Amino acid sequence: MNFTVPQIAKMIDHSILRPEFTLEDVREGCAVARKYDVASVCVRPCDVPVAAELLRGTRVAVGTVIGFPHGDSPTEVKVAETELAVHQGATEIDMVLNIGWLRSGDIAAVEHEIGQVVKAAGAAHVKVILETAYLTDEQKLAACWASERAGAAFVKTSTGFAPKGATIDDLALMRSAVSPKVQVKASGGVRSLDTMMAMAAVGVTRFGTSSTTEILQDLARRQVAVSAGRA
């Protein structure tokens, strides 16, 4: 295994999104993110100010979700959510595209909305959540193409709240659909190191997971075992 623990950590968006989480849960999640120096935390919109304060001075970015989890908020609301999140300290924006518009074939409306969120985000990176569980392969491709044309930094599989999360086939399809300047994020069901490694092999560079501690501890144990075997 060629990845180090710090390298894998910088591929993780530590997810703190469950609706029942308390403020103490959010603080504990941010502590995990700080301990392992992950790429970012992904918190509920109401938790952005707390996370921004807790992670100030670290290399951990603060991300949040927009139009979550159904993607059906009016564009104006998604734009307002984005502007507020950035103002409060978010530097990564994970937006759910309008799934109904996409399934209806109104790609122009989907692309326009993504572009409006990208504009509102300014320097913050926008990750577009497709919610692949509800889409055909043709719709997934159309969403990826629209996301790139609209200026998104990432395309992302799932919210984690649909019937199915990230799959290798979907990730490979998404990676093939966008140019190298657009990254691919896996989310939904990323709970083990082996899953991460299989997804990284098809070009995934960012992972949304709440299993950060388990994944990184597993990698550390394996590396110790390998080192011991060489001694």
Check pLDDT > 70 for residue 72. Answer: yes
What pLDDT does residue 231 have? 58
What's the pLDDT band for 2 if we cut at 50, 70, 90? Answer: confident
Location of structure tokens 């577009």:
128
Beta bridge partners of 93: 64, 126
Active site (catalytic) residues: 94, 156, 185
Beta strands in 80-173 (DSSP E): 92-96, 125-129, 154-156
Tell me if 48 sits within 8 A of 90, measured CB to CB. Answer: yes
CA-nearest of 167, 159, 147, 138 to 42 is 159
- The DSSP output letter for 14 is E
Residues near 76 by beta carbon (within 8 Å), at least 6 away in sequence: none
What's the pLDDT band for 227 if we cut at 50, 70, 90? Answer: confident
The pLDDT tens digits for 178-209 are 999 999 999 999 999 999 999 999 999 999 99
What do you get for the CA distance between the two ends of the chain, in Å?
A: 17
Residues near 200 by beta carbon (within 8 Å), at least 6 away in sequence: 3, 11
225: Cα separation from own chain's centroid: 31
What pLDDT does residue 70 have? 97
Say which CATH superfamily domain 5-224 falls into.
Aldolase class I (3.20.20.70)
Check pLDDT > 60 for residue 50. Answer: yes
Instruction: Quote the tokens at residue 149.
Output: 């044309």
Cis check for the bond before 69: say yes or no (omega within 30 of 0).
yes
The pLDDT tens digits for 142-182 are 999 999 999 999 999 999 999 999 999 999 999 999 999 99
Check pLDDT > 60 for residue 1. Answer: no
The pLDDT tens digits for 98-116 are 999 999 999 999 999 999 9
What pLDDT does residue 85 have? 98
Check pLDDT > 90 for residue 228. Answer: no
What pLDDT does residue 75 have? 98
Mean local confidence (pLDDT), 22-35 = 98
What pLDDT does residue 225 have? 86
